[in-house]
Amino acid sequence: MARQTLFANEALTPSGWAQNVRVDIDGEGRIAGVTAGAKPDDVPGEVKVGALLPAPGNAHSHSFQRAMAGLTEYRSQAYDDFWTWRALMYHFVERLTPDDIEAIAAQVQMEMLEAGYAAIGEFHYLHHQPDGTPYDMPGELGARMFAAAAQTGIGYTHLPVLYMRGGMDGRPLSGGQRRFGNTLDQFGTLFEQARERLQDLPADARLGVAPHSLRAVDEDGLSFAARLHRTAPVHIHAAEQTGEVDEALTHLGGRPVAWLLDNMKIDSDWRLVHATQMTDAETAALAASGAGVVVCPITEANLGDGIFEAQQYLSAGGALALGSDSNIRISLSEELRALEHSQRLRDRERAVLATADKSCGRRMLETVAEGGASALGRDAGRIEPGALADLLALDTASSTLAGLSGDRLLDTWIFAAGDHLVSDVWAAGRHVVKDGRHIKHDAIAARFNKVMLRLRSEL
């Protein structure tokens, strides 16, 4: 990779907002220098941008679910909840071929990059053919994710999912779940294949693991997953729905988060996805454990999951990342807005996540940039020499942002703007979004559109 130089009118650095900032990126995709008070055009060929921010990673995604976005917004029975959505999702996964899955993943990654995310954590649980038979190469569908990442240039963290059973009572997998299931031996093979194939991606690619949930994985499975040799944390769905809490109380004798804290060595190597159903004691204990939470505000609202206790958790020093989960909407600004708005609606207050010296937008962006990077095993999340150049730039010449700077600019983007103010994105120094569009936008979108026309015609 060639060395690059950017010149930003302003940039959000670990020591606060800085003006006229030159950022040098080395040939390894890391930030080599940050110089405030620089002059534009000092370096020939520099890329000029408006406001430069650390680009967060999107720490929770099931890419294939993008294909069913918008298709489950009606009542299929008198009371429609998460579990009926899940039934429709299972129906849908039975139709996807490896080519479909790769095309959808590339589209999702491109949309994330265009939204301002530099990286993705793909919680990858589609492993087998529709009837449950492994592919000739068991890691076939994981390799399709890597192919998509190679095309889009996104910072990629693979989170292969261990899925063992249909529920905490030990019932077997059925229907759409058959594509997900593995024994521990099978999963070990799949994991090793992923490790080998991941070496074909750029050096910032990472491998974590994802025991799916307490519903789908038993205690042996959790320990097995945690012991695998990884370069990113263990991710698990936890405490998303009240039904899951009830199931844990019946079969495990405790609430999901409390049970995990009591029975697994939960520390900074773990990320709990959702954690929307916690008591105050669980919230405090989870924050103190050093583990992080991945919150997915748009999906959690869409599925009626509940509201994460962000204020209490962050005040207790908890690490927090964002994820887009079902990918019903891929919008970094909207995800942040939904997080703060959920707190306001519950507490009937304003500016809940602001602190004495930082606005809502500033505190949230800094929090999820740092939390997203650590959740994905990336040395990123800050505009500082040595960090990976995961960067996003906002178009400050747009009428929405003109004349604004600092926290007000950030808040206006997050709370008051449309989706198209991200002008540029770098993922580990790869400049993949320019003028608001991914550099391979047309080819990726055309392939995705073809797949979607066929899938929708089969609905």
- Active-site positions? 274, 325
- Closer to Zn ion by CB, 305 or 325: give it: 325
Closer by beta carbon to Zn ion, 4 or else 72: 72
If the CB atoms of residues 361 and 371 are measured against Zn ion, the closer one turns out to be: 371
Query: Is 122 one of the binding residues for Zn ion (CB under 5 A)?
Result: no
Q: Which is nearer to Zn ion, 271 or 441 (CB)?
A: 271
List of E strands, 111-269: 119-124, 155-162, 206-207, 210-211, 234-238
Stretch that binds Zn ion, among 128-136, 188-196, 318-326, 397-405 (CB under 5 A): 318-326
User: Which lies closer to Zn ion via its Cβ, residue 123 or residue 413?
Assistant: 123
Angle at 315 between CA 380 and CA 215, to 5 degrees: 75
Asked whether position 100 contacts Zn ion by CB under 5 A, the answer is no
Contact residues for 405 (Cβ-Cβ < 8 A; gap 6+) = 10, 17, 51
Alpha carbons 348 and 341: distance in angstroms, whole number: 10
Using CB under 5 A, which residues numbered 160 to 199 contact Zn ion?
none
Pairing of strands 234-238, 270-274: parallel
Q: For Zn ion, which residue has the nearest CB?
A: 325
Q: Which stretch binds Zn ion (CB under 5 A): 63-71, 138-146, 160-168, 325-333?
A: 325-333
Contact 23, 33 (CB under 8 A): yes
| Closest CB 348 distance from Zn ion, rounded Å | 29
Cβ 302 to Zn ion shortest distance, Å: 12
Q: Does 325 bind Zn ion (CB under 5 A)?
A: yes
Output helix, strand, coil percentages for the chain, rounded to the nearest 5: 40, 20, 40
Name the token pair of 283: 């919230």
- Selected range binding Zn ion among 25-33, 162-170, 323-331, 349-357, rule: CB under 5 A: 323-331
Contacts by 188-191 with C-beta closer than 8 Å and gap 24+? 188/224, 188/228, 189/138, 190/127, 190/138, 190/139, 190/142, 190/160, 191/160, 191/228
Q: State the minimum distance, in angstroms, from the CB of residue 136 to Zn ion.
A: 28
Stretches 172-180, 322-330, 338-346, 405-413: which one binds Zn ion (CB under 5 A)?
A: 322-330
- In this structure, which amino acid lies at residue 70? G
> Looking up tokens 């950017």, which residue turns up?
6
Q: Pairing mode, if any, of strands 391-394 and 47-54?
A: antiparallel
Smallest separation, CB 147 to Zn ion (Å): 22
Q: How many residues bind Zn ion (CB under 5 A)?
A: 1
Return the bridge partners of 237, or none.
213, 273
Task: Please report, as residue ranges, which positions from 25 to 84 form the binding site for Zn ion (by CB under 5 A).
Answer: none
User: Taking the complex as a whole, how short is the minimal distance between the CB of residue 159 and Zn ion, in angstroms?
Assistant: 10
The residue among 225 and 388 lying less far from Zn ion, judged by its C-beta, is 225
Closest approach, Cβ 423 to Zn ion, in A, equals: 30
Count CB neighbours of 45 within 10 A: 9
Residue numbers at the binding site for Zn ion (CB under 5 A): 325
